[in-house]
């Protein structure tokens, strides 16, 4: 039976974190082990189920955010000789909400049905992409922005840093602190290595933005509007510095080149193309 490592990222919000943990264990315990990373949380606000505690001065001040936090966690599994125990990895933030039903088993089944999919994302009711999933519940995309990614181990191994892996470079680029367009970079690397990225409406996931809007002081982050501003400003600077792109559209067109090439090599998946 395929096995999943679920990684939940938390910073000072133990209640939704533990609720998500309990929900996953309730429905999918036989398919997954659940690991929680405390990303610079206060000691009084740790999840009761936490696995690792990133408590360096930098983490305590600013948190690790998604890219560094997930790199940290994946490397922990590597260094603890647990990484190879798993076939898939679910990377999820604690403000992600799933329907109260089994869903990891569904994601596994989709991955088995689609052997060239390296990254799978649940759909959101807020996304226009759901209207593109009418004839097929799962399709391959060249742009997916989500806080919940289901990854195939071989996909991670193909594009991860192997020589000197660390929290800044293992899978995501940790220099992109707030993660603007980080998903585009990963998707491009995937298609360049013959791995598709897909969205499915067989599983739904919603981001509960109320935590960031109403509890930014507890999370120890910028207020919602300021966070969005810095997300764009810092992300565009990262994109320009690394790729020379002046807009997200240029980044997306870069990804789409690899997307189009994928179907030339794998025409049997044309029916899943947009």
Neighbours of 233 (CB within 10 A): 12
Give the residue-averaged pLDDT of 81-96: 98
Residue 98 DSSP SS3: strand
Assess contact for 6 and 90: CB atoms under 8 A. Answer: yes
- How far apart CA 68 and CA 134 sit, in angstroms, is 35
* Domain spanning 4-272: CATH 3.90.550.40: yes
What is the maximum alpha-carbon separation in the chain?
54
Q: Per mean pLDDT, which range of 40-49, 174-183, 191-200, 211-220 is the poorest?
A: 211-220
Question: Distance between CA 51 and CA 36 in Å, rounded?
Answer: 5
Read off the pLDDT band of 237 (50, 70, 90). Answer: very high
**pLDDT value, residue 212:** 81
Degrees (nearest 5) of the Cα angle 220, 204, 1?
Answer: 100
The mean pLDDT value for 218-224 works out to 85
pLDDT one-digit tens code per residue, 185-197: 999 999 999 999 9
Q: So where are the chain's domains?
A: 4-272
Per-residue pLDDT tens for 91-125?
Answer: 999 999 999 999 999 999 999 999 999 999 999 99
How many whole angstroms separate alpha carbon 120 and alpha carbon 95? 19
- As a whole number of angstroms, the distance between CA 104 and CA 124 comes to 16
For residue 121, the 8-state DSSP code is E
Which residues are paired to 7 by β-bridges?
35, 91
Instruction: Compute the distance between CA of residue 83 and CA of residue 162 in angstroms, rounded to an integer.
Output: 14
Instruction: Give the pLDDT of residue 219.
Output: 83
Tokens 């938390």 -> residue: 10
**By percentage, how much of the chain surpasses pLDDT 90?**
92
Separation between Cα atoms, residue 114 and residue 233, nearest integer Å:
37
Q: Which residue has the tokens 């790729």?
A: 243
């Amino acid at each position: 039976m395929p096995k999943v490592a679920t990684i939940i990222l938390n910073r000072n919000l133990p209640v939704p974190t533990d609720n998500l943990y309990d929900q996953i264990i309730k429905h999918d315990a036989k398919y997954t082990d659940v690991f929680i990373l405390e990303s610079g949380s206060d000691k009084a606000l740790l999840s009761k189920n936490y696995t690792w505690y990133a408590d360096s001065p930098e983490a305590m001040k600013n948190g690790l955010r998604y890219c560094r936090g997930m790199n940290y966690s994946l490397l922990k599994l590597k260094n603890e000789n647990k990484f190879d125990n798993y076939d898939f990895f679910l990377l999820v933030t604690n403000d992600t909400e799933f329907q109260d039903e089994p869903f990891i088993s569904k994601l596994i089944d989709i991955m088995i049905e689609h052997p060239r999919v390296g990254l799978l994302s649940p759909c959101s009711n807020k996304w226009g992409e759901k209207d593109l999933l009418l004839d097929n519940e799962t399709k391959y995309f060249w742009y997916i922005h989500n806080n919940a990614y289901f990854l195939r181990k071989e996909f991670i191994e193909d594009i991860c840093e192997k020589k000197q892996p660390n929290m800044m470079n293992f899978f995501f680029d940790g220099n992109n602190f707030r993660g603007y367009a980080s998903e585009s970079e990963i998707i491009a690397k995937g298609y360049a290595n013959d791995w598709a990225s897909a969205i499915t409406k067989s599983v739904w996931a919603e981001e509960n933005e109320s935590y960031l809007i109403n509890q930014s002081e507890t999370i120890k982050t910028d207020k919602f509007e300021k966070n969005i501003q810095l997300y764009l400003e810092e992300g565009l600077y990262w994109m320009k510095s690394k790729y020379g792109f002046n807009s997200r559209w240029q980044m997306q067109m870069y990804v789409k080149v690899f997307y189009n090439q994928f179907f030339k090599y794998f025409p049997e998946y044309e029916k899943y193309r947009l």
